[in-house]
Amino acid sequence: MTFAETLAAVVVGGLLTGGLTLLGVWFTAKKAAEAAEAADARRDAAEQLRWTRDQKLAAYSAFIAETDAWPDSDQVTDADAVVALVKKIAASYTHVKLLASVEVDAASSAYFNRQMELMRTLKQSPRERAVQVASARNLRDAYVALLHAMRREIGVESS
């Protein structure tokens, strides 16, 4: 083997080694970029879930705060105060409807309907205490069902 052949073999071997090294670096960089992209996607998805949960929690908390102001069945006497409260609850209810799952939506609709039922009862049967108490109990039962549905959705309570 001549010096020129040896030199050519070394140069070719060096080029092949360099090329393979660059190919390995490129492949490693590509895999690292893909891993970083996947991590970013997971982080973004987790942040979206957290944000959604926080929004639901805020809406549900506001709704519950408004409805907690509802008077006990034996204290429901001032129709104007009840109408004002129902208007505030309706605004909170709309926010819940925008964010809620099917289960919470159904429970909040049932609860809201029971509130409207109590309003009709107060207006149409102001002297019929038993009808008012029954309507208030229906409202309470719907409220408890709504609380459980909300707690399950935000992960506080298991199914």
The span from the CA of 58 to the CA of 137, in Å, is 26
pLDDT tens for residues 42-76? Answer: 999 999 999 988 999 898 888 888 877 766 555 55
Q: Is residue 127 part of a domain?
A: yes
- Extract long-range pairs of 47-56: CB within 8 Å, 24+ residues apart: 52/99, 53/154, 53/155, 55/99, 56/99, 56/100, 56/150, 56/153, 56/154
- Three-state SS for 118? helix
Q: Is residue 71 part of a domain?
A: yes
Number of domains comprising the chain: 1
Residues spanned by the domain of 139: 48-153
Q: Is residue 144 part of a domain?
A: yes
Q: Is residue 31 part of a domain?
A: no
The span from the CA of 2 to the CA of 89, in Å, is 95
pLDDT tens for residues 145-159? Answer: 998 999 898 887 766
Q: Does the model's pTM come out above 0.75?
A: no
pLDDT tens for residues 7-35? Answer: 777 777 887 888 888 888 888 989 988 98
What does the pLDDT read at residue 14?
A: 80
Q: Is residue 59 part of a domain?
A: yes
Q: Is residue 57 part of a domain?
A: yes
Q: Is residue 63 part of a domain?
A: yes
With 0-12 / 13-18 / 19 or more C-beta atoms within 10 angstroms meaning exposed / middle / buried, residue 57 is middle
Closest CA to 108 of 49, 53, 60: 60
Q: How many helices (H) and strands (E) does the chain have?
A: 4, 0
Q: Is residue 147 part of a domain?
A: yes
Residue 138 tokens read as 């229906």
